[in-house]
Structure 1
Amino acid sequence: MSELDRSGQHVVIVGGGPGGYEAALVAAQLGAQVTLVDSDGLGGSAVLTDCVPSKTLIATAELMSDVRRARVLGIRLPEKSRDSQAELEVDLQVVNERVKALAAEQSADIARRVARDGVRVVQGRGRLQSNTRVVATLADGSTETLDADAILVATGAAPRTLPSAQPDGERILTWEQVYDLNEVPEKLIVVGSGVTGAEFASAYLALGVDVTLVSSRDRVLPGEDADASAVLEAVSVRRGMKVLGESRMESVTRDGDTVTVTLTDGRTVSGSHCILALGSVPNTADLGLEDVGVVTDDGGFIKVDRVSRTSARGVYAAGDCTGVLMLASVAAMQGRIAMWHFLGDAVAPLDLKKVSSNVFTAPEIATVGWSQKSVDAGEIEAEVVMLPLAGNPRAKMQGVKDGFVKLFCRPGTGIVVGGVVVGPRASELIHPVSLAVAESLTADHLAQAFTVYPSMSGSVAEAARRLHRV
């Protein structure tokens, strides 16, 4: 499709999260006319209530952890706080005000960017009337009909709740509601040990809160590398977290200032606050999807192929509403791919084996490519090496004792097909491994590239050297 042809194309995007606004930017760049229908604020939950807020909170928690180990590095704290971690305090109201301000600022930045690129934003709720028409219901109750050559649905997802565990926004909270807390919880119970539950449990523990993590599985982060989750759980318990494994929640109730979590085996756990981290449900109800032939699965997630097409001609979908891999980076790539595909630009189908992800706990857990579970199950043949960070000179300088680098490479060719990094800023350290996986580099390529001495990245090169075969 030529640029002239593209200029006559009208794309309507429903939802302003990463899948939506990134798609809008690509479509505008390629010369299409773009209208984005958004009801919650550009950036979506990723910017306003999820990724940006939670990682801002975690940044404060990380600083608290650094201060607590200052004496190990030779820093003398004021006499009052020298011998007691309890003397370190956090002003949660100030923290949360900063969290919300940064989220709003990021959303405003995105709004300015899409406006600068010529994207028209309609404030309202979009509903598909056909595979070529969206009706937007505006704040005043009026409607606007938008005809489209292609439609992208990027409406995201919301926290899952249960009839027996209903949030009240005060002491029983979803992860979107924690930023209204003005006082540090006296005793926090986190229900759910997936990524969201583990991150909040780790963050509040670092802020000095008494935390109990209720996990229905036999380990924290059951979807992550088993060695990595074992390190995280050991570190968390050592720092004072109570982890109740294989403990399924039956209900959560509140009586005054006390919240009680009842388990299916009859045990109860009481605290001052509870965060529900029970997964997500897609925002796909009442969008008119069924009427236009868009197929969803039993959970309501939109079924898409690797170029973001739905079952309805001309209708694409991106982000958490598809349930493909609920990461902001994946949502953004799905949105971009959809527009590249529709507008005839060069496009490569989504490859989940090249996606890097990170769990922002203490320590962080970053992964990319094939996993240890896949190797153990025989899904792929790979050589594996795991190198503890404790022997890294930079780690020793910083007082880091927990964590490792793990690499997977194909026997014979030595091509790197996956990796795991556990440690401080693992989200940054995974990047060279991600490049290796994306570009089919070998372990020798990684090993022979210069690394700074001393540096944490030196462990990536050292692990790669241990995979060298003569």
Structure 2
Amino acid sequence: MAHVAIIGGGPGGYEAALVAARLGADVTLIERDGPGGSTVLTDCVPSKTLIATSDLLTEVESSAELGVDVPREARADIAVANDRVMALAQAQSADIGQRLEASGVEVLAGTGTLDASGGAVIATTDDGERRIEAQGVLVATGAHPRVVESAQPDGERILTWEQLYGLRELPDHMIVVGSGVTGAEFASAYNGLGSPVTLVSSRDRVLPGEDEDAATLIEDVFTRRGMTVMDHSRMASVERRTADGGADGVRVTLTDGRTVDGSHCLLALGSVPNTGDLGLKEAGVELDDAGFVTVDRVSRTSVSGVYAAGDCTGVLMLASVAAQQGRIAMSHLLGDAVHPLDQTKVSSNIFTSPEIATVGLSQVHLEETGTPFDVAMLPLASNPRAKMQGIRDGFVKLFSSKSTGIVIGGVVVSPRASELIHVVSLSVSSSLTVDHVADAFTIYPSLSGSVAEAARRLHRQV
């Protein structure tokens, strides 16, 4: 029986462990923080739980239009919300732990390092060190928030996204530094929860790496809801300060000398891979200049028998991609059928309000590569179900191959866009044509009807 050692119990690690156990391997998983890793305990699960509270308040704010009389202003009790966040994270971690146990996976609480031979892992636990000989090793150690010398988090006023859940009072003024996915999500969330928010963006718009139409719409929504968005503004430093009257707070100084004062500051400056002190270089595992593990499409590293998955690889830093990389790694290692990771068919979602969901090739990629394509874009404001629900912000956009009519990408901006994108994802992954999508029945009225209508507009008469 093959023995597999997995370092890291996040989505890449625990999904890999379940696949390996199902394929008959003897599996040992080493995790420092608990089943699910930081994704479940301090990152993705907590953030989306907090966002759920924010989304509910956003819906309540617009309820008068639908004939609902809310007798007083609805506000979030952030202490109660954060208690729920952490309780749910612990429950999810426990569920994962039970699945692993039921599958026969040995879980060790501790840290792991790769032996110089690459064929063993040294596990360090409270009981001491243990050498685990393995026919295959998976490194799935994730990443952690990037910080800089001039902006050191203190866990009270200057915070990373892993430290937000200790707040007991809603910030009087939250300054978010960084307008990528994490910064935009939390800026949207705290704006919805009722905090005044300033979003500091070093680029010309929020979400600079996303679909331009979607990013422009989200920035318009942010400003309309009272958020201050500072474009072309790069942070130089963040410091704790005492304001007039003795109020505790923070000051963000920009590179052009301007300052922004607030009660709290969230640093959303990107992620750093957890690849130090794992023995990777000593074993010959190749890392890139930023410290990410270099892998191929089946998650192999440069060392035979050693695989890597998740954020430590820097390959589309999404929980769903981490899980898929882990599954692929174990299938390849243990001789099962393998479908290599195809990044052109990955779907993702940004949990702002409204959400932005994308799949397949982007418009920028299509234009930069000179790929002939057709595009159709429909505003949700014209959708009958959206009108009934009071939804004005959002759209559906589809891209199809000009020569074949096959759906090659799409963008959905809408409440619950993460659910609506699935039909587009199926179309992209299965190489369906726009006529296939258009001919499938949709419910009337429904938001998904806009996907079918966009496909109909891309029909080319024979």
Query: Given the two structures, how large is their TM-score scaled by the length of structure 1?
Result: 0.96
Q: Which runs of 5+ in 1 are unaligned?
A: 1-7, 82-86
Distance between the aligned counterparts of 1:380 and 1:216, measured in 2? 30
Deviation at 1:376, TM superposition (A): 2.1
Letter in 2 for 1:458: G
1:291 counterpart = 2:318:
no
Q: 1:143 aligns with which of 122, 126, 129?
A: 129
1:133 counterpart = 2:124:
no
1:4-403 mapped onto 2 (5 Å cutoff): 8-78=1-71, 81=72, 87-129=73-115, 130-140=117-127, 142-256=128-242, 257-403=248-394
Deviation at 1:159, TM superposition (A): 0.3
Distance between the aligned counterparts of 2:304 and 2:33, measured in 1? 27
**2:456 — aligned with what?**
465
**2:428 — aligned with what?**
437
1:64-90 per-position Cα deviation (integer Å, ceiling 9, x unaligned): 011111100001121xx2xxxxx3221
Letter in 2 for 1:327: L
Distance between the aligned counterparts of 1:43 and 1:197, measured in 2? 23
Distance between the aligned counterparts of 1:89 and 1:341, measured in 2? 50
1:78-137 per-position Cα deviation (integer Å, ceiling 9, x unaligned): 1xx2xxxxx322110000000000000000000000100000011110001131110011
Deviation at 1:381, TM superposition (A): 1.9
**Compared CA separation, residues 244 and 334, structure 1 to 2 (3 A):** same
Distance between the aligned counterparts of 1:153 and 1:441, measured in 2? 35
Deviation at 1:379, TM superposition (A): 4.3
Moved over 4 A (4+): none
Distance between the aligned counterparts of 2:156 and 2:98, measured in 1? 34
Give the secondary-structure state (helix, strand or coil) at the position aligned to 1:326: coil
**1:3 — aligned with what?**
none
Letter in 1 for 2:179: S
Give the secondary-structure state (helix, strand or coil) at the position aligned to 1:166: coil
**1:5 — aligned with what?**
none
**2:444 — aligned with what?**
453
Q: Is the 8 A contact 2:372 2:403 kept in 1?
A: no
Deviation at 1:378, TM superposition (A): 3.1
Distance between the aligned counterparts of 1:137 and 1:27, measured in 2? 22
Letter in 2 for 1:125: T
Query: Given the two structures, how large is their TM-score scaled by the length of structure 2?
Result: 0.98
Letter in 1 for 2:137: I
Give the secondary-structure state (helix, strand or coil) at the position aligned to 2:294: coil
RMSD: 0.7
